[in-house]
């Protein structure tokens, strides 16, 4: 059984919810579960450094689920073993990604059109590992193919420990509104925990949607990138406490800490060069890391600044910055 003592979790978001971001979100309080960015089952099975890096997590993130995508039951079972070996608390199967690169290979949301394969994958994984196997899906492939409740029932029989439903079809992408009625139908169709997901933007949304639909919990994606304090605020609302406003200093600190944590994460530098005088390979690795940090901050700020007073100013300034020093200046100026 997947156990988490708080019903609010951070949804997986490729390019955004890396280990540094997940740690920072946990530190703001109220978040009971985090999920890694999706990682390729093939990459895990072959032990590709890049894939293993995406699957990395730290103790303070627990409980943490590693999300895997793939379409082959045997390879997915092997990937689940890798996830178990690296010590994750759960392995989550991506059945929601509509991106052609993933969905073309019988993986991601394509699995919702092939319930037999989807069940075979979950069954093979559940037999291969003792950690919980969970699934994140959409409501269906398209408007005429809404089948989340049926599929959830089938996956429950196959051994799934919990299911998350993003209330949109694959055809919708991110358009329209998440269909929480359908999420509620899935929650009533199975006895395993169902987590709802989609369009939770205000902290009160988390509490209200849980009450309205009877889901066991919710995952928050973009709303948590815009407001990493959303979980603590929702917890306050659920407990009948007033919601504290987030001081500008906390927002500034969040962004600066994220930069520091990304910089501190020096896995891509050759270990032998870490403490030696600056060498050529070290300089090259330093430049690559700097580029990564700049790109990460741009991706984060695209969502983080939404609805924020002075947000567009910060977004433009971060987009203009092309070095870590310029990023820090941009953030300092925006919060001055």
Q: Closest distance between ligand FMN and the C-beta of residue 332, in Å?
A: 27
Q: Which is nearer to ligand FMN, 67 or 233 (CB)?
A: 67
Q: How far is the CB of 120 from ligand FMN (least distance, A)?
A: 20
The answer to whether residues 182 and 146 touch, using CB atoms and an 8 Å cutoff, is yes
Q: How far is the CB of 17 from ligand FMN (least distance, A)?
A: 8
In contact, 124 and 81? CB cutoff 8 Å: no
Token digits of residue 134: 């969970």
Alpha-carbon separation of residue 242 from 229, 232, 239 (angstroms): 14, 11, 9
The residue with its CB nearest to ligand FMN is 221
Residue 31 is a catalytic residue: no
Q: Indicate the residue among 230 and 285 with the shorter CB distance to ligand FMN.
A: 230
Nearer to ligand FMN, 196 or 285 (CB): 196
H or E element that contains 302: helix 280-304
326: exposed, middle or buried (C-beta count within 10 Å: 0-12, 13-18, 19+)?
middle
73 or 223, CB closer to ligand FMN? 223
Q: How far apart are CB 249 and ligand FMN at their closest, in Å?
A: 26
Say which of 31, 97, 109, 301 is annotated catalytic: 97
* List of long-range contacts for 291-298, beta carbons under 8 Å, 24+ apart: 292/262, 293/259, 293/262, 293/263, 293/324, 293/327, 294/321, 294/322, 294/323, 294/324, 294/327, 296/15, 296/18, 296/258, 296/262, 297/255, 297/258, 297/259, 297/321, 297/327
Is the omega angle on the peptide bond into residue 123 within 30 degrees of 0, that is, cis?
Answer: no
Instruction: Summarize as ranges the residues that interact with ligand FMN (CB under 6 A).
Output: 11-16, 37-38, 67, 94, 96-97, 136, 166, 197-200, 220-223
CB of 188 to ligand FMN, least distance (A): 21
Comparison of 13 and 55: residue with beta carbon closer to ligand FMN = 13
Whole-angstrom distance, CA of residue 45 vs CA of residue 79: 5
On the CB side of 47, CA atoms within 13 Å amount to 1
Closest CA relative to residue 333, chosen from 319, 316, 314, 315: 314
Tell the smallest beta-carbon distance from residue 270 to ligand FMN (Å).
29
Shorter beta-carbon distance to ligand FMN: residue 37 or 42: 37
Question: Token pair for residue 111?
Answer: 């699995």
89, 172, 255, 331 from 25: Cα distances, Å:
18, 28, 11, 19
Active site amino acids? 97
């Amino acid at each position: 059984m997947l156990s988490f003592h708080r019903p609010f979790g951070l949804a997986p978001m490729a390019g955004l919810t890396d280990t540094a971001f997940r740690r920072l979100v946990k530190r703001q309080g109220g978040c009971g579960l985090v999920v890694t960015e999706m990682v390729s089952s093939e990459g895990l099975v072959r032990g590709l450094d890049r894939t293993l890096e995406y699957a990395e997590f730290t103790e303070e993130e627990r409980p943490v689920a590693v999300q895997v995508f793939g379409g082959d039951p045997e390879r997915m079972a092997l990937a689940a073993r890798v996830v178990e070996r690296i010590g994750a608390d759960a392995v989550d199967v991506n059945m929601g990604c509509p991106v052609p690169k993933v969905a073309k290979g019988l993986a991601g949301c394509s699995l919702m059109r092939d319930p037999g394969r989807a069940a075979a994958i979950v069954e093979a994984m559940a037999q291969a590992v003792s950690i919980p196997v969970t699934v994140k899906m959409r409501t269906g492939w398209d408007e005429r193919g809404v089948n989340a409740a049926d599929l959830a029932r089938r996956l429950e029989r196959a051994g799934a420990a919990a299911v998350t439903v993003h209330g949109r079809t694959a055809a919708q992408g991110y358009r329209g509104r998440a269909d929480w009625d359908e999420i509620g139908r899935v929650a009533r169709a199975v006895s395993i925990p169902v987590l709802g997901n989609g369009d939770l933007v205000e902290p009160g949304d988390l509490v209200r949607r849980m009450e309205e639909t009877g889901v066991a919990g919710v995952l928050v994606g973009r709303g948590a990138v815009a407001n990493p304090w959303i979980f603590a605020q929702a917890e306050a609302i659920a407990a009948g406490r007033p919601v504290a406003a987030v001081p500008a200093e906390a927002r500034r600190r969040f962004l600066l800490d994220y930069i520091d944590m990304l910089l501190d994460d020096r896995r891509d530098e050759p270990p032998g060069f870490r403490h030696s005088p600056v060498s050529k390979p070290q300089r090259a690795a330093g430049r690559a890391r700097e580029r990564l940090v700049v790109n990460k901050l741009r991706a984060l700020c695209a969502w983080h600044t939404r609805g924020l007073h002075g947000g567009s100013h910060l977004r433009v300034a971060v987009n203009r910055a092309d070095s870590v020093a310029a990023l820090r200046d941009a953030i300092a100026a925006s919060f001055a």
